[in-house]
Structure 1
Amino acid sequence: MKHFFNRRENIVTEALDGLLLTGRPGRLARLDSYPAIKVILRADWDRSRVAVLSGGGAGHEPSHAGFVGKGMLTAAVSGEIFASPSVDAVLTAIRAVTGPQGCLLIVKNYTGDRLNFGLAAEMARAEGLKVEMVIVADDIALPDFAQPRGVAGTLFVHKIAGFFAERGDSLEDVAAAAAAAAHEIISLGVALSTCSIPGQLQEARLGAEEGELGLGIHGEPGVERIAVQTSGKIVEIMTERLVAVLPGTGDYALLINNLGAVPPLEMSLIAHDVLKSSLASRVKLIVGPSPMMTALNMNGFSLSLIRLDAEREAALVAAVEPHAWVPPVTRHEIVVLPAPAPLIGKATGPASQNPLTQKVVTGICAHLISLETELNRLDARAGDGDTGSTVAAGARGILEEIGSLPLADTAETLAAIGGNLATSMGGSSGVLLSIFFTAAAKAMARTGSLPGALLAGLDRMTFYGGAKPGDRTMVDALDPALRSLACGGISEAARAARAGATVTSAMTKARAGRSSYVGKRDLEGVADPGAVAVAETFEFVADLLSGKATRGETSFVAD
């Protein structure tokens, strides 16, 4: 596994300084005891209230320093990655923040943390400081284990203790509230791969089709291996075990914690599965999904629950300064609003008839369908061989709706064609032509000039698509054709379109579309299929209006 770091010995101190450098000025500070003693504390702390101190090994970011701030932790003391801070470090932190009101230590139930924080607490008491300690043991993965691990549920205790301390409660009351909260938290995690420590080889403990249920936040083995399966199945396993140890009544707050490497997309999907599970009815407040107590880059997540009462709920929803704390939301249903009806892009008026318009539209569509094989053949030389099929799909879509088009109104006909192509044609060509016809419809309704409206459509299509004449696209035929139509007539437009399409066969570099990835050898001598389709369309219309339509479409355009 690859990592970003300079020297392994400096990872933690440099990361903590990065946190300080990117935080709001004047909010956080560190003691000058770096690098041996790493303590992050509130820069504004005046020791007038109970201090709340936590910490442990690094690698769980944003825990613990990320939760230092008004309303949560007063200070955090950090060890190296997954290593408890020393007794001296903890004692230094206690001395730095403890005033007459005392200090509460919140410790996860790991041997190193218990011993080092515990000895530091005793030494601080010997110095005359008021210190209490609460141990969090929320992991239910190992039910027969005498000392359950402290994991992400510890964050609930940080938040609750921080609330009561900020309110001005006594050390005894803050410690009692924290201890009671810790007693009523349960957590369970799962991972598809363990974590990787920078500068060390990663342990390949899990097979390609294995996950692990209940592993610790330092990569410790879990209670059992499970098969890699759907998120819903994994969540079902976890929620069944959590529900089994919940009391029969009461509301809970739920923390959905990313252990480090699960993408946000997957975390939202996991949240969906959890909130549709058997656990959901017990949940009142939701925190996350978010990385809050991670295990470096572990590809997993954990669920933590705490029973609510009025004071705990008030504590959890109270605003705090640290941005790493995600404000809880009340469980709610998804709000679904009706989608607005399209304003343009489909016919806005009733079906109407115009024999000439119907003749032109049906004739063009039938002619383009007949060119499907030839256009695919051209596209196969420089693309993925589907231009003919894409164009034919759009043409068929329009023919299917020909009886419902408002053919007596040119602007509405253009709008209806634009709306149809957006769904029937597909690909970037379908979107570009939908933009073309939709913009042309708007201009037609405003000016009443079809040549001008089509030029307006071209302008919008090239603006969004980015192609221009010379880029070897349909624009090479469409641009000169529409400009000739505006100042001449359909015959001149047809000749200009064909000339533009022919020129593309000499272009050996495409600057837009899929063929822009194709080399010179594959483009030379091959006309752009989109430009050819445009030329064929204009030539067909010119022949039709002059009475020369003999291309196989007479059954569609017969009087």
Structure 2
Amino acid sequence: MSTFFMNDRKNLINDVIEGAILTSPFKNLAKLDADTAIRVVVRSDWDKKKVALISGGGSGHEPAHVGFVGKGMLTAAVCGDVFASPSVDAVLSAIVAVTGKAGCLLIVKNYTGDRLNFGLAAEKAKTLGYDVELVMVSDDISLPDNKQPRGIAGTALVHKIAGYAAEHGQSLQQVTEFAQQAIAATRSIGVAMTGCHLPGDVADDDGASRIANGHVELGLGIHGEPGVSIIKTHNSKKIIAKMVEKLQASLKKKDKLAVLVNNLGGVSPLEMSQITKELVHSDLEPAIRYLIGPAALVSALDMKGFSLSAIVLNKAFEQALLAEVEVAGWQPLVKLQALPTVKAKKIAEKGKVKASANKQVGEIVATVAKTLVGLEGELNKLDAKVGDGDTGSTFASGAKDVLDLHKEKKLPLNDLAALFNVIGDRLATVMGGSSGVLMSIFFTAAGQKVSEGSELSESLLFGLARMKHYGGADLGDRTLIDALQPALEALHHKPGDIKAAAAAAAKGAKATSTMKKANAGRSSYLSSASLKGVKDPGAVAIEEVFAALAK
């Protein structure tokens, strides 16, 4: 089964081109209206007075090459099928469409198909009277002994530098020389943990799964070609160190660099930020003046990998790379600087609470805590039917902690506001999950109200309201609120009448067994059949606590 979203494989590239043109933010792109097999995107604002820049190659490297067409970069992009060079006729059509007296420069990645097809098109164009030059990008340093280094992500840097020269009216000879200088100053190396899937191929295609788990391949090509060596780790710091070592071997210590961090298509933004962090903390950091990305500039479909492209800067390159452009795919340079920080005051720790005694309050605390500890097994079994089986353990962990503090006489039992705040702090720390935070909100908010002079029952209802506000559950949603709210309301109407509160809690808990739908918590994912006849575990906990207090 294919892993691609697509309609008609035969028309895939035409569809992709249309989508890219329609979403161009500068509205400066157009498709060359010729044979459907001629897939060329051109600048719609081009007037042929300046040197035209044409690049292209196989599709699958988006945003290259269409994403670099626009003011300040390419004049046209010629699109082949996925990983396949465009035809000679397509390249020639592009040359004829955009080239004026100033001439045209073809920027080609160093692959046989692209060299031959673009080269033949250039020769044909010359016979038609066009002034055409061609440069080949060969920035891949992963195979140092290769006489034909591949052109990979560094191609985007060449597009940018040559585009600046052309936009500023330089001659074809000057633009060509500037591009050649950029090629000589650029080196790239890539790494991947999986290859890529081609449109229409099955998900476990050999090209994508060749690399063993826990390994990465250094020098993997942008078409899935095998790399030069295997690194037995996925650790980003170690991988960057190896790549930097390779880059430094081809650089001089005095070189100042702009480094493009290129996503090959399948790496998450989170990982790309991690990779960038490792780069700026690597041995290459003293040489880095600018970063480009992290972003996909020259991708390889969905390849789980990335590449680093470093260009040795001079004043002219720096000026060209910093110039603004009107293209969708380029990323502006960011000057590397020390990590900016903003000083903030440390949140002062709450002062130590002074323990105090209150026999009645102490008995209530002990009764509630012991009840919840004793219910651990029963509540877990109940929760296993409608949740993830840990309600009892969650409540018991909080109760044990509070009970230990009580036994050690560390609770401010004679100060309800302070007591509620201590309990709130402890439950948020030891209970875990959403239950701990919800109960912490309940006690913290109630403590706030008590400190303001409110009655206990009113304060507890305020705590409940805050818990409902942040938790999103309400009466009837099949949660502990269905037992807690009736109990607290009963206490509010008849202060001190624990038996009335216990009866209300029991009635509310029983009602949860007849509710067909849970609207909060893990139970909300279950069918009504799974819930039928089963009380909500949290509601049962509240019911049993009030029952124990009423005895």
TM-score (structure 2 length as normaliser):
0.89
Cα distance in 2, alignment partners of residues 281 and 264 from structure 1:
25
User: Do structure 1's residue 421 and structure 2's residue 427 form an aligned pair?
Assistant: yes
* Equivalence for 1:394: 398
For residue 481 of structure 1, report the CA deviation from its aligned partner.
0.8
* Equivalence for 2:210: 206
- 2:245 maps to a residue whose letter is E
* Equivalence for 2:281: 276
- 2:206 maps to a residue whose letter is E
Change (3 A) 1:207 1:79: closer
* Equivalence for 1:384: 388
Cα distance in 2, alignment partners of residues 12 and 523 from structure 1:
51
* Equivalence for 1:309: 314
Map 1:340-351; keep pairs closer than 5 Å. Answer: 351=354
Change (3 A) 1:524 1:30: closer
Cα distance in 2, alignment partners of residues 108 and 211 from structure 1:
24
For residue 294 of structure 1, report the CA deviation from its aligned partner.
1.1
Residues 317, 327 of structure 1: 8 Å contact kept: yes
* Equivalence for 1:514: 522
Residues 349, 406 of structure 1: 8 Å contact kept: no
Residues 26, 327 of structure 2: 8 Å contact kept: no
Q: Deviations over 1:280-329 (max 9, x none)?
A: 33222111221111112222221111111222222223332223212222
For residue 31 of structure 1, report the CA deviation from its aligned partner.
1.3
Change (3 A) 1:524 1:203: closer
3-state DSSP of counterpart to 2:10? helix
- 1:73 maps to a residue whose letter is L
Cα distance in 2, alignment partners of residues 292 and 358 from structure 1:
66
Residues 193, 211 of structure 2: 8 Å contact kept: no
User: Do structure 1's residue 189 and structure 2's residue 195 form an aligned pair?
Assistant: no
Q: Deviations over 1:124-172 (max 9, x none)?
A: 3344433332211011122111111111111111111222322333333
Residues 193, 305 of structure 2: 8 Å contact kept: yes
- 1:452 maps to a residue whose letter is E
For residue 437 of structure 1, report the CA deviation from its aligned partner.
2.6
Cα distance in 2, alignment partners of residues 414 and 11 from structure 1:
64
Cα distance in 2, alignment partners of residues 451 and 163 from structure 1:
73
Change (3 A) 1:482 1:120: same
Structure 2 stretches lacking a partner, 5+ long: none
Q: Deviations over 1:472-512 (max 9, x none)?
A: 32111101011112211232222211222233345565443
- 1:307 maps to a residue whose letter is V
Residues 425, 440 of structure 2: 8 Å contact kept: yes
Q: Deviations over 1:183-213 (max 9, x none)?
A: 0111111222222222346334715335432
* Equivalence for 2:445: 439
Of residues 321, 324, 330, the one that matches 2:335 is: 330
Cα distance in 1, alignment partners of residues 430 and 355 from structure 2:
22
Residues 72, 167 of structure 2: 8 Å contact kept: yes
Residues 258, 294 of structure 1: 8 Å contact kept: yes
3-state DSSP of counterpart to 1:37? coil
Change (3 A) 1:78 1:396: same
* Equivalence for 1:216: 221
For residue 425 of structure 1, report the CA deviation from its aligned partner.
0.9
Cα distance in 1, alignment partners of residues 482 and 459 from structure 2:
19
Residues 26, 326 of structure 2: 8 Å contact kept: no
Structure 1, 184-193 or 165-174: larger mean CA deviation: 165-174
User: Do structure 1's residue 451 and structure 2's residue 460 form an aligned pair?
Assistant: no
* Equivalence for 1:554: none
3-state DSSP of counterpart to 1:222? coil
Structure 1 stretches lacking a partner, 5+ long: 544-559
User: Do structure 1's residue 178 and structure 2's residue 179 form an aligned pair?
Assistant: yes
Change (3 A) 1:288 1:397: farther
Cα distance in 1, alignment partners of residues 218 and 4 from structure 2:
26
Structure 1, 26-35 or 402-411: larger mean CA deviation: 402-411
Cα distance in 1, alignment partners of residues 486 and 337 from structure 2:
57
Residues 353, 406 of structure 1: 8 Å contact kept: yes
Of residues 503, 511, 520, the one that matches 1:495 is: 503
Residues 24, 328 of structure 2: 8 Å contact kept: no
Cα distance in 1, alignment partners of residues 504 and 350 from structure 2:
31
- 2:538 maps to a residue whose letter is G
Map 1:278-293; keep pairs closer than 5 Å. Answer: 278-293=283-298
Cα distance in 2, alignment partners of residues 39 and 407 from structure 1:
79
* Equivalence for 1:555: none
3-state DSSP of counterpart to 1:476? helix
Residues 347, 405 of structure 1: 8 Å contact kept: no
For residue 16 of structure 1, report the CA deviation from its aligned partner.
0.2
Superposition RMSD on alpha carbons, in Å? 2.9
Structure 1, 177-186 or 487-496: larger mean CA deviation: 487-496
Change (3 A) 1:100 1:453: farther
* Equivalence for 2:169: 168
Map 1:116-127; keep pairs closer than 5 Å. Answer: 116-127=117-128
Change (3 A) 1:526 1:10: closer
For residue 257 of structure 1, report the CA deviation from its aligned partner.
1.2
For residue 229 of structure 1, report the CA deviation from its aligned partner.
4.0
* Equivalence for 1:246: 251
Cα distance in 1, alignment partners of residues 492 and 100 from structure 2:
85
Residues 349, 412 of structure 1: 8 Å contact kept: no
Map 1:68-147; keep pairs closer than 5 Å. Answer: 68-147=69-148
User: Do structure 1's residue 477 and structure 2's residue 483 form an aligned pair?
Assistant: yes
Task: State how many pairs are aligned.
Answer: 541
3-state DSSP of counterpart to 1:193? coil
Residues 92, 125 of structure 2: 8 Å contact kept: yes
Of residues 263, 269, 273, the one that matches 1:264 is: 269
Cα distance in 2, alignment partners of residues 309 and 357 from structure 1:
77
- 2:520 maps to a residue whose letter is A
Change (3 A) 1:64 1:420: same
Change (3 A) 1:8 1:372: closer
Residues 50, 168 of structure 1: 8 Å contact kept: yes
Change (3 A) 1:83 1:378: closer
For residue 22 of structure 1, report the CA deviation from its aligned partner.
2.0
- 1:247 maps to a residue whose letter is K
Residues 386, 523 of structure 2: 8 Å contact kept: yes
3-state DSSP of counterpart to 2:474? coil
Change (3 A) 1:194 1:385: closer
Cα distance in 2, alignment partners of residues 175 and 407 from structure 1:
84
Cα distance in 2, alignment partners of residues 241 and 386 from structure 1:
52
- 2:267 maps to a residue whose letter is V
Change (3 A) 1:134 1:477: same
- 1:62 maps to a residue whose letter is P
